[in-house]
Amino acid sequence: MAFVLAVMLVLSAAAGFSDGGWAEISDAALGQCVKAVELGIYLAGSMALWCGLMRVAERSGLTRFMARAMSPLIRLIFGRLDTDSKKAVSLNLTANLLGLGNAATPTGIEAVRRLEKSSRPKRNTALITVINTASIQLIPVTAAALRSAHGSDSPMEILPAVLVTSVCSAVVGIVTASILFSEEE
pLDDT for residue 99: 66
pLDDT for residue 113: 93
Residue by residue, DSSP assigns 90-141 as: HHHHHHHHTT-GGGGHHHHHHHHHHHTTSSSHHHHHHHHHHHHHHT--SS-H
**Mean pLDDT over the full length of the chain:** 83
User: What is the identity of the amino acid at 103?
Assistant: A
Residue 55, pLDDT above cutoff 60: yes
pLDDT tens for 78-126 read: 888 888 888 888 888 887 777 666 667 888 899 999 999 888 888 999 9
Residues 6+ apart with CB under 8 A from 91: 54, 58, 63, 66, 67, 107, 110, 111
pLDDT for residue 175: 93
Banded pLDDT at 168 (limits 50, 70, 90)? very high
Q: What is the pTM of this model?
A: 0.65
Residues 6+ apart with CB under 8 A from 116: 125
DSSP state of 80: S
pLDDT for residue 29: 78
> How far is it, in rounded angstroms, from Cα 127 to Cα 107?
15
Q: DSSP H helical segments within the chain, as ranges?
A: 2-19, 22-60, 62-78, 83-97, 105-115, 121-134, 141-149, 159-180
Residue 46, pLDDT above cutoff 80: no
**What's the average model confidence in pLDDT over 23-38?**
83
